[in-house]
Every structure is written in C-alpha cells, then in structure tokens.
Structure 1
C-alpha cells in the first residue's frame, strides 16, 4: 500500500524532515534539562519546556494537556511512550509515584506492570515499531491496539492497524469471525491489518525486570481481504 499523503507537498516535507532526525534533536534537547513526570494508574504526565513540547509533538510522543502555565507544558504519555522515552531514548530523568521518585528503569517497569499486567508484551510491540521509525498511536477508535504512520499524522494517513497477539496468553483473534471483523473494519478505513505475534519463554523472575524484553521475539503478519474479482478470468474473453 502506497502512502496516502494528506496534502500536496506533504511528501516533500516528510522527506526533508525525517523522523529519525527529529528524535535525535529531541534526545539532545531533553538531555540538557531535567524532564520529570508523574505516574498514574493509566498514563504519565510529563512536564517540559515549550520548545521541548514542540519537539515531542513533531515526534508524536503523547498529547498536550491544556494548562495556564506560560513557561511549562504538560504532555500526557501512555505507559509505552513514557517507558520508551525513559528506557530507550534516555530523555526522562525521573518519574514520581505518590510522592516517591522512580529514578531507575526497574522501579518504573514494576510500577507500570502493576497497573497493566500485559505491559511487557505491548511495550515490546511498541518499541519494535518505533525502532523502525514508525509513528505509533492508539488504535482505540478503530478497535485495534495501535495504528502506525509513515510520518507525522498531519502529513499522511496511517497505513497499518495493529493487533498485538501472544500465543496462549493474549489472543484477540480466537476464531475466524474475529479475523473477518477486523479485516473488514480496517479495510473500510483504508488500512492493512498488521498482527504482531510476541513470542518467547520468559522466566517468571525476569518478568519484574525490563531485561525480559530480550527473551521476546516479534513476528509480523499482514492480513488482507481476498477479492475474487482480482483473480477471476475475464468473462468477455472467448
């Protein structure tokens, strides 16, 4: 599926400003200041400077929260986004939970898993896509786990609707009717269904450490609706 650009000139703008370059710029900016956040049961609120808020928006991390402060901006991050910024990009210095600082990845990992038991699987899927420079956003409005964009959503429509699967533990596509519904829905909004199978045998003790991510593998599988008209012989031929 070719990218569906939203306006004339969007493709040229995307090539002129690669996401990888913007992420590097974000890393450099946040590393020079002390970025801190607050962990709740469902998200992380990050406090940053206005310039850094603009970079986060260009990289599509989080969503801005309206506030009256002029010199500070608040960004609402999902667990996956916050941990990626903290653990992978080293952009966040500390995150607090109930007045206690979580200054290392182990404490943050355990806290997020306590609120979201399947966090390890979803973070593995998120980081897998982000590491390939895809923009990853929530897929709730399409009935999937994520939607991914080739570049900023203001420039291009999302190409894939992503469902995260784990054999034997977390399986949304149990029967054929589940697959059929997902394919029909994603097809109606011009997206390809991408299923990420998160596999691996993880030691129970390692589940409390982010090192367990190394025990997982990610298998990608796209599912498309078959159209008989594309394969049928030309009836007018004699």
Structure 2
C-alpha cells in the first residue's frame, strides 16, 4: 500500500531525521539523567525535562499527562513501551510504590500478572520498534497496534497489526472463519491500512522470565483482499 505522507515536504523531513537517530538520542538522554519511571497500575509514569519531553514526543514513547507543574512534563508509558526502554534499550529504571528499583524479573512478573498477553504483546512491540517503526495502540481499529513509518504528524499509519500466538486458536481468537477475515480486511482497507499478522512462536520457552521472550520467533504475514478485476485480461489486448 505504501506510505501516505501528510503534506508537502513531510517525506523529506522524515528522511532528514531518521527515527533510529531520534531513539538513539532519547536513549543517551535517559541514561545520562539516570531516568526512572514509577509503576502506576497498568502503566509507568515518567517525569521529563524540556529536552527529554521533546525527544519522547518525537520518538513517540508514551503520552503527555496534563499537570500544573511548569518545569516538568509527565509521560504515561504503556507497559510495553516502559519495558522496551528498560529491558531492551536499558536506558530506564522503573521503581515501585516503595520507591525501590525493580529488577527485570520483578517487572516481568508484575506486568504478566497485570496482563496475561503481555509476553506476546511485548515481543510484537519490540519486533516492530527494533525495525524503527513507530507503534501505537490500534484499539480504535479493533487491532492490537498500528504501525507508522515515522512520526504520526508526518505520515499516516501503514499497518494494522494483529498478534497470533501458539495454541490460541487464531489471532487472539479472531480470524478463525472466513467471515472474520473478510470483515477485518475490509475494515483495514476502508482506513487505508494493510493488515499485518505477527505470529509469535514461543519455541517451547514459555513466559516465566524476560529472557524467554528474546528467544521467541516472529513470522510476519500481510493479509490482503483479492480483487478479481486485478486479474482480468485486458480487453484491449484481444485480437
């Protein structure tokens, strides 16, 4: 389907400022400031100064939280975003309500207890992020995630992402019958997105620790609606 850039010059601006470099600058800034987030239910709160706020916004991590404070901006990170910064990029520590730093294993236990599908969702999130896609919630489209080639202010999301895991009978119970496939693909087509299904294979590793997820396999499949008119012979070519 290809990227749909927002306005003249958007593609040039994206090419001049690659997402990989923005994330790299964010990583360096968080490490330098010894940044730490606070567990809050199913999310993590992170206080950021002006420079980090700008980098978090440009890298599309978390969402700003409106507060009365002028010198700090708070960001609400999803569990997948927070654990990616903590476990994968190793640039953020996360503390609990007792203000003590949580180990990777303690965070993993906490997050899997809060969300049973966290291991698969995190693997899918990390898989796309490591390919420099911007990943946002896809709940408004009835999918797990939507993926952008760059910042959402510059380009429309290109993929609607569903996650499938071993033994779940389909994409979290969906796409098991043709009518489900047809409706989902038609919905994605109506909002100009391709349906990307990520098949997560646990390879017998289970989900007891964060080290397991690094061994999971990911298979990508783009599901598209077949259009008969695209396969018709060109009448003008006939004798």
Please give the range of the TM-score, normalised by the shorter of the 2 chains. over 0.9
Q: Which residue of 2 aligns with 1:181?
A: 183
Q: Which runs of 4+ in 1 moved over 6 A?
A: none
Q: Which residue of 2 aligns with 1:211?
A: 211
Secondary structure of the structure 2 residue equivalent to 1:221: strand
CA positional deviation for 1:203: 4.1
Task: Quote the Cα distance in structure 2 between the aligned partners of 1:78 and 1:117.
Answer: 15
Q: Which residue of 2 aligns with 1:220?
A: 220
Q: Which residue of 2 aligns with 1:24?
A: 24
Q: Tell me the number of residue pairs that the alignment of Structure 1 and Structure 2 aligns.
A: 235
TM-score (norm 1): 0.94
Checking the alignment, whether the CA contact within 8 Å between 1:202 and 1:215 is kept in structure 2 is: no
TM-score (norm 2): 0.93
Consecutive unaligned residues of structure 2, counting only runs of 5 or more, are: none
Q: Which residue of 2 aligns with 1:3?
A: 3
Deviations 1:147-168 (A, max 9, x none): 0011100000111100001131
Task: Quote the Cα distance in structure 1 between the aligned partners of 2:128 and 2:149.
Answer: 11
Q: Which residue of 1 aligns with 2:103?
A: 104
Q: Which residue of 1 aligns with 2:122?
A: 123
Consecutive unaligned residues of structure 1, counting only runs of 5 or more, are: none
Distance verdict in 2 for CA 1:203–1:18, change over 3 Å? closer
Task: Quote the Cα distance in structure 1 between the aligned partners of 2:84 and 2:95.
Answer: 13
Task: Quote the Cα distance in structure 1 between the aligned partners of 2:41 and 2:67.
Answer: 21
Checking the alignment, whether the CA contact within 8 Å between 2:203 and 2:217 is kept in structure 1 is: no
Deviations 1:62-111 (A, max 9, x none): 11001111111110111110000111112212322x32524321111110
Task: Quote the Cα distance in structure 2 between the aligned partners of 1:197 and 1:203.
Answer: 15
Cα RMSD between the aligned structures? 1.4
Checking the alignment, whether the CA contact within 8 Å between 1:202 and 1:212 is kept in structure 2 is: no
